[in-house]
Amino acid sequence: MATVDVPLKRLKFGQTARKDGWWVMPLTTFVVFSAFIVYVTWSLLQGDNYWYGNYLSPLYEPEIFGSSPHAWFGPWHWWWFPFVKYSPAMLILIFPLAFRMSCYYYRGAYYKAFWADPVACAVGEPRDEYRGEHKWPLLIHNLHRYALYFALIFNVFLFIGAVKGFIFNDPSTGRAQFGIGIGSLIMLINAILLAGYSFGCHSLRHLVGGVVDQFSKAPARKKAWDCVTCFNRHHPKWAWFSLFSVALTDVYIRLCAMGVITDLRII
Ligand code: FES
């Protein structure tokens, strides 16, 4: 039988025989994710122009302490932490960010894009050793399932916020009335996209359908598992669309609050 020698030589960083555009996806992830992180950080530190009438930016939902009418417990007093420039987003953003940063899909995407570990299949890596998730700091990703519990609670707040986006104050009577503005629709779409992202989470799939020996004996869990699996099938798409929608909803409300654009009322 004929034999072929295949030398097991370590490829240099970036070296590959691949002719396809293997670098497009990591590069796109790098650019989009970096832009998102820069924008969210800027928006978080702003602490201003994050609400407009009945609209509240998803980056600030829920507002626990703050100066807007959406705040649960009224204003933040500067003397509580005198050396910190307060922004209501500071108290809550860690939860959705932890959920997104530890997402199984995003990990795969940003390990390639930011750490080149691995860069792509059959492409030379910059390191000799495997830097797995069984050591710190990446071990922290195991908290993903707990981040999920918070994310599901935040989904409820976002839907409540979206419903509030349809309740306007009538300027002549001062009474609340149903209405639809472009902002109402944007907030609703954003809440749906974020829920679709959470509902397709791998940890949620395990939570509802894991540790079951026979699905035939647990029909309710089988149904729930099917439902999560359905969202899970397109998890990367939900991840990216919801990422864009969060940023765009914040931009829209911010521009309305700054008076740069006017919210168009359909009803
Ligand atoms: S795996 Fe992506 S959100 Fe849980």
Give the pLDDT mean for 147-168: 97
Question: For 95-104, 191-200, 210-219, which range has the lowest pLDDT when averaged over its residues?
Answer: 210-219
Domain boundaries, the chain: 24-258
Query: Bridge-partner residues for 265, per DSSP?
Result: 181
Amino acid at 138: L
CA of 116 to the centre of ligand 1 (A): 21
Q: Are strands 167-169 and 51-52 parallel, antiparallel or unpaired?
A: unpaired
pLDDT tens string 41-60: 999 998 999 999 999 999 99
Query: Bridge-partner residues for 102, per DSSP?
Result: none
pLDDT tens string 83-109: 888 999 999 999 999 999 999 999 999
- Ligand 1 atom nearest to CA at 99: 3
Specify the pTM.
Answer: 0.91
**Pocket of ligand 1, candidates 101, 103, 233, 238: which has the most ligand atoms within 8 Å of its Cβ, to mutate?**
103
CA of 197 to the centre of ligand 1 (A): 7
pLDDT of residue 121: 87
Q: How far are the Cα atoms of 118, 124, 128, 131, 264 from residue 11, in angstroms, in the given order?
A: 12, 5, 10, 18, 57
- Ligand 1 atom nearest to CA at 239: 2
